[in-house]
């Protein structure tokens, strides 16, 4: 058997993708939901046909999984569709990342339906931790085989994520942080260095004028918001957010980034003075 060249392999891959695209064009409907399902199915089948269907470890926010664990204890959910995830856990395009995380853990199948592992996480106490620990050890089996997490440094996990899955450093750090979160939630022992690991803060864009100070007060009148907003006011800050899960999660992320940015900026300015 002769080996194909890189050029021939790329041509073969493009031909497979072209044929799948033609099939997809004949199947999907005109509604956004139908197109979205079709595109997602195309991507999955394309990866499988090209031998690149491996699901990578999740990253982003542990708060998504806190909400998820609470949700499945409250009710039985038969379908983790993107629409359901957007309304209850992760907004916008982040829904794809969260659902991919559930697939990596083996909790849902390709269609978003729960596997037989998910009901085991509806338990509480030590039973929940024991079942979650088994799921985490299976999902991250390559990592556990490669690294002794009880003695590991954060950079060891981060470098593993980069080398094994091709993540950029920021994503690898987020994946490391989420791995530590799962271990803590499941009672899996890890090193103190891992337990204290924090993902470096990503700065938000700077304000247009460098003369703006965080201590400058912005007047916000309560009457500007109707009953669809939840408001919180004090002498030094004022916050208003829509009363829905997606808006609250988005606001939490934006507010934390904003406060981290200004805290860092004020500390740096105080040192210069």
Question: Mind listing the pLDDT tens digit for each residue in 244-271?
Answer: 776 777 777 777 767 776 777 777 766 6
Assigned domain for 229 exists: yes
Closest CA to 55 of 117, 97, 104: 104
Assigned domain for 75 exists: yes
Q: What is the mean pLDDT of residues 154-178?
A: 95
Torsion, Cα 133 135 138 140, to 10 degrees, reads -80
Instruction: Tell me: do 177 and 241 sit in the same domain.
Output: no
Using CA atoms, how far apart are residues 175 and 181, in angstroms rounded to an integer?
10
Instruction: Tell me: do 228 and 156 sit in the same domain.
Output: no
Count of other CB atoms within 10 angstroms of residue 149: 19
Contact 148, 141 (CB under 8 A): no
Instruction: Tell me: do 169 and 86 sit in the same domain.
Output: yes
Instruction: Tell me: do 167 and 240 sit in the same domain.
Output: no
Instruction: Tell me: do 32 and 77 sit in the same domain.
Output: no
Instruction: Tell me: do 68 and 177 sit in the same domain.
Output: yes
Assigned domain for 266 exists: yes
Instruction: Tell me: do 165 and 103 sit in the same domain.
Output: yes
Q: Which residues form the domain of 128?
A: 62-195
- Interior/surface letters 75-108, b for 16+ CB within 10 angstroms, e for the rest: eebeebbbebbbebbbbeebbbbbbbbbbebebb
Question: Which residue is it, tokens 């996990």?
Answer: 157
Q: What is the mean pLDDT of the chain?
A: 78
Question: Which residue is it, tokens 């390709």?
Answer: 110
Question: Mind listing the pLDDT tens digit for each residue in 128-145?
Answer: 999 999 999 999 999 999
- For 69, counting Cβ atoms within 10 Å of its Cβ (0-12 exposed, 13-18 middle, 19+ buried), the class is middle
Question: Mind listing the pLDDT tens digit for each residue in 54-94?
Answer: 789 999 889 999 999 999 999 999 999 999 999 999 988 89
Assigned domain for 24 exists: yes
Q: Examine the pLDDT at 51 and tell me if it is beyond 60.
A: no
Question: Mind listing the pLDDT tens digit for each residue in 170-220?
Answer: 999 999 999 999 999 999 999 999 999 988 755 434 334 433 333 334 343
pLDDT at 240: 77
Instruction: Tell me: do 45 and 100 sit in the same domain.
Output: no
Percent of the chain residues topping a pLDDT of 70: 64
Instruction: Tell me: do 134 and 176 sit in the same domain.
Output: yes
Structural domain count of the chain: 3
Q: What is the mean pLDDT of residues 216-230?
A: 49
Using CA atoms, how far apart are residues 201 and 170, in angstroms rounded to an integer?
10
Instruction: Tell me: do 248 and 185 sit in the same domain.
Output: no
């Amino acid at each position: 058997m002769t080996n194909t060249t890189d050029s021939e392999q790329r041509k073969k891959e493009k031909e497979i993708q072209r044929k799948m695209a033609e099939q997809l064009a004949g199947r999907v409907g005109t509604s956004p939901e139908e197109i979205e399902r079709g595109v997602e199915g195309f991507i999955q089948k394309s990866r499988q046909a090209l031998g690149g269907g491996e699901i990578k470890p999740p990253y982003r926010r542990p708060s998504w999984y806190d909400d998820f664990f609470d949700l499945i204890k409250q009710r039985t959910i038969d379908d983790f569709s993107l629409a359901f995830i957007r309304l209850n856990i992760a907004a916008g395009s982040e829904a794809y990342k969260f659902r991919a995380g559930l697939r990596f853990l083996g909790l849902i199948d390709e269609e978003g339906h729960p596997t037989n592992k998910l009901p085991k996480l509806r338990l509480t106490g030590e039973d929940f931790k024991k079942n979650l620990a088994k799921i985490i050890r299976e999902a991250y089996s390559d990592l556990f085989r490669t690294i002794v997490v009880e003695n590991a440094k954060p950079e060891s996990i981060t470098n593993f994520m980069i080398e094994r899955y091709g993540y950029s450093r920021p994503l690898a750090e987020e994946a490391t942080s989420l791995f530590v979160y799962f271990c803590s939630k499941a009672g899996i022992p890890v090193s103190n260095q891992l337990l204290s690991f924090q993902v470096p803060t990503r700065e938000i864009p700077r304000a247009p004028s460098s003369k703006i100070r965080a201590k400058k007060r912005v007047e916000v009148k309560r009457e500007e918001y109707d009953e669809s907003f939840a408001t919180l006011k004090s002498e030094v800050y004022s916050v208003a957010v829509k009363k829905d899960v997606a808006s609250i999660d988005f606001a939490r992320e934006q507010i934390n980034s904003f406060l981290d940015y200004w805290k860092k900026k004020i500390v740096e300015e105080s040192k210069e003075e």
